[in-house]
Amino acid sequence: MATVSRMEIVVGEDGRTRCWWGASTPEYSEYHDTEWGFGVTDDHRLFEKICLEGFQSGLSWLTILRKRENFRNAFRGFDPGVVARFDDSDVERLLGDAGIIRHRGKITSTINKAARALETTEQHGSLAAYFYQWFEPADRVPIEIAATTTASVSLAKDLKGRGWSFVGPTTAYAFMQAMGLVNDHLRDCWVRSTAEQSRRSAADVVL
C-alpha cells in the first residue's frame, strides 16, 4: 500500500467513493473500509501487523490478507510471549504449513520480533506507547503517497537499533498507514473522516 503509481478516487458498486485500491477486490474493500488507517492500541494487533508487513516483503498485501487467519493460527494469535518461546521444532512446523508464507528468514525474523517486542514493552509499558511516538497529529490530506517518509525512516532505524529485522522504511511506512499513525485516505474517500476520528481516539488513549 505504500508505493503507488496513481492516486484517484473510485466509485464502488455500492456507490461509495474509495481510495483507488479499496475497490479492486472484495477483500480490499472490507479491509479499506474497516481497518486501514484506523487507530489501533491493542499490542497483539500491532505486533501481528509489523510481522505480517515483514512477510509481505516482495509480495502483495492481498496475498497476506487472504492468508491472515492461517498466520494467526500458525503463530498462536501473535502473542509475543508465546511466539518468543518458539524453537526449532516450531520453525520446521511453520515451514511445513502451506497456509502461510514458508520463508525461513521471515519465520525466524518473526520469532526474533517477539523477543524484541517483549523488551520494547518492558521499556515503554506497551507496544502502543512505543509506536505512537510516530503518530502524526496533523490531519493532512495526502497529495501524493511516497514509499517512505522521514518518520518511517526514523521508525525503521530505531527498530533496527533494537534488533528487529525485516523492518525497513517502506515496511515501517506501510505499518504506519495501516495502524492509523498517519491518515492516507484520500480527501473524498468515504472512510477518511471515520478513520481520522478513530486514530485520534486511539492517540488520546495512548498519549
Q: What is the DSSP track for 132-180? A: GGG---S-PPPS---S--HHHHHHHHHHHHTT--S--HHHHHHHHHHTT
CB contact set of 10 (below 8 Å; sequence gap of 6+): 17, 18, 19, 20, 22, 23
Instruction: Count CA within 13 A, CB hemisphere, residue 160.
Output: 13
Would you name the residues annotated as active-site residues? 31, 53, 61
CA quadruple 81, 64, 1, 200: dihedral positive or negative? negative
Q: Are 191 and 149 in contact (CB under 8 A)?
A: no
Q: Are 7 and 73 in contact (CB under 8 A)?
A: no
